[in-house]
Amino acid sequence: MYHSKISGLGFYVPDNIVTNDDLSKIIDTNDEWIQERTGIRERRHIIRGEDTTTTIGVKAAKIAIERSGIVKDDIDFIVFATLSSDYYFPGPGVLVQRDLGLKTVGALDVRNQCSGFVYALSVADQYIKTGMYKNILVIGSEVHSVGLDMTSRGRGVSVIFGDGAGAAILSREEDLTKGILSTHLHSEGEHAEELIVKAPGMGGRWVSDILSDNDPDDESYLPHMNGQFVFKNAVVRFAEVINEGLLANNLTVSDIDMLIPHQANLRISQFIQQKFSLKDDQVYNNIQRYGNTTAASVPIALTEAWEQGKIKSGDIVILAAFGSGFTWGSVIIRW
């Protein structure tokens, strides 16, 4: 029996900055509304044709590999979390194996939206704990910009999401007091349709249906979010799953050194911070600069916090996420 630890972290965001003012030139929105409701000032969008979910994931992965001190041939497995796969199938995991020139290691795709990276870490942690693998590349990467409704009709969703990628190398840790202490995963499919892109789907509308209907009011392939309902569930589930992780490890709120919440909305993070009476430097937020990058948000924030020296050896670090599904989860780490 082993533990797993994060031995390397990296992130990549496209250079192309899209400010709230830029969006308000094409959508009926404004900087004041976006900042007041979400905290977001700007986000990144890829240049179409130059980058994809896989290519930005690979850029983040290269940094994580280099920092971990391993070489690419040491990687035993890939776990890739995204909702914005380059292809309908195959998923991006195999494209990473190809683009990084890895051995023919296994590649698993995780599609748990905003909770994707937390789920992916949990999966990787199990493989390392049992001794099956020593080093696993875990990626959370997302390209939203090409799939959003960039008209006023889609303003409730389009202003929130951004593109980006984060990656971690998860490695064997023999000291059982360190590394990932536990992971906690949940779902509630009753609310699947509250945050959804319905089409194309084999159970509903396929591409041929959309093309043959040629209906200008067809929204089935655009993101739909019942924002207030999602918000209300998020604040409850975030708190629950953080508490669940603390309890499982005989920890209390006073043991938390750093909380990295999924960057869904700055107001959600602030609510959680208040609920746990955490200080500003105990909760890391960067949604102001990147928007909500779903599966990429936790690894990007974790990497930035680590780069800025905000995480030290021995710290209790908590990752927590909530999103479409609904799915939610937490990871408790002693760094």
Q: Which residues are catalytic?
A: 114, 262, 292
Angle formed at CA 285 by CA 251 and CA 291, multiple of 5 degrees: 135
Give me the residues paired with residue 137 across strands. 78, 169
What is the nearest approach in angstroms of ligand UT7 to the Cβ of residue 150?
A: 12
Listed ranges 68-76, 77-85, 208-216, 261-269: which one lies at the site for ligand UT7 (CB under 6 A): 261-269
Q: Which of 3, 155, 172, 289 binds ligand UT7 (CB under 6 A)?
A: 155
Q: Which stretch binds ligand UT7 (CB under 6 A): 41-49, 226-234, 253-261, 303-311?
A: 226-234
Task: Say how many CA atoms lie within 13 Å of 108 toward its Cβ.
Answer: 17
Number of residues that this document lists for the chain = 335
Specify whether the CB–CB gap between 7 and 70 falls below 8 A. Answer: yes
Q: Give residues 193-212 in contact with ligand UT7 (rule: CB under 6 A).
A: none
**Taking phi first (over 0 means left), then psi (-120 to 50 degrees means alpha), and beta for anything else, what does residue 111 get?**
beta
Q: Which stretch binds ligand UT7 (CB under 6 A): 6-14, 181-189, 230-238, 245-253?
A: 230-238
If one asks whether residue 259 binds ligand UT7 (CB under 6 A), the answer comes out as no
Spatial distance between the Cα atoms of 332 and 282, rounded to a whole number of angstroms: 14
Segment near ligand UT7 (CB under 6 A); pick from 57-65, 167-175, 202-210, 264-272: 264-272
In terms of CB distance, is 114 or 123 closer to ligand UT7? 114
Residue of 128, 264, 283, 305 that binds ligand UT7 (CB under 6 A): 264
Alpha carbon distance 19, 221 (integer Å): 25
Smallest gap from residue 157 Cβ to ligand UT7 (A): 7
Considering only residues 6 to 35 of the shown chain, the ones binding ligand UT7 according to CB under 6 A are: 29, 33
Does residue number 43 form part of the binding site for ligand UT7 (CB under 6 A)?
Answer: no
| Beta-carbon contacts of residue 73 (< 8 Å; ≥ 6 apart) | 102, 103
* Residue whose C-alpha is closest to residue 18's, from 44, 36, 41, 39: 44
Among 212, 214, 228, 250, binds ligand UT7 (CB under 6 A): 228
Residue closest to ligand UT7, measured at CB: 227
Q: Is 221 in the site for ligand UT7 (CB under 6 A)?
A: no
Q: Site for ligand UT7 (CB under 6 A): how many residues? A: 19
- The CA distance from 129 to 5, in Å, is 10
Comparison of 24 and 220: residue with beta carbon closer to ligand UT7:
24
What's the closest the beta carbon of residue 174 comes to ligand UT7, in angstroms? 36
Q: Report, in angstroms and rounded to the nearest whole number, the Rg of the chain calculated over CA atoms.
A: 19
- The letter for the amino acid at 108 is L
Q: Which of 114, 136, 167, 222 forms a contact with ligand UT7 (CB under 6 A)?
A: 114
Percent composition of the chain: helix, strand, coil (DSSP 3-state, to 5): 40, 25, 35
38 near ligand UT7 (CB under 6 A)? yes
Label residue 171 exposed, middle or buried (CB < 10 Å: 0-12, 13-18, 19+): buried
DSSP string, 266-278: HHHHHHHHHHTT-
230 contributes a contact to ligand UT7 by CB under 6 A: yes
Which of 63, 234, 242, 296 lies at the binding interface for ligand UT7 (CB under 6 A)?
234
Amino acid identity for residue 275 in this structure: K
For ligand UT7, the binding residues (CB under 6 A) are 29, 33, 37-38, 114, 155-156, 159-160, 227-228, 230-231, 234, 264-265, 268, 292, 323
